[in-house]
Amino acid sequence: MRSQSCYIVAYECYKAPDDMKFDTETCGELILRNKNLGIEQYKFLLQAMVKAGIGEETYGPRNVIMGTEESPNLIDAFSEIDDIVFGTLDNLFAKTGFSPSEIDVLVHYLDDYIEPF
């Protein structure tokens, strides 16, 4: 019989590989290459970049890096999920020495809230 105790054993954040890193200049170029945005959308995105604290170590999805963000596909989505979820869990299990079979509950916390303007 399992005990009713619950322990937080570790905390792990996903860190994308360096080949997914953008600097502020690249972020600006990515916004400007979208020809479907009007001036108000450009202004909003630039304000969002500033308020979100995007700096020289901001990461983006591979389909944006490759310039295919206007035609996303399921393979890209699954690949991104695999990188984030399994990469993070692999790091967590390596750091703690726990096996996945020893974990009953996994709590996922996502903090990507951007304050409204």
Q: Could you state, in order of their start, the residue ranges of all structural domains in the chain?
A: 18-102
What is the reported pTM? 0.60
Q: Is 55 exposed, middle or buried (0-12, 13-18, 19+ CB in 10 A)?
A: exposed
Structure confidence at residue 117 (pLDDT)? 40
Which pair of structure tokens corresponds to residue 31?
């916004």
Residue ranges in the chain whose pLDDT is less than 70: 1-3, 108-117
Could you tell me the two tokens for 35?
Answer: 């020809």
Distance CA 59, CA 12 (A): 17
Residue 49 is predicted with a pLDDT of: 78
Query: Up-side HSE of residue 93: CA atoms within 13 Å toward CB?
Result: 13
Q: How far is the C-alpha of 36 from the C-alpha of 94, rounded, in Å?
A: 44
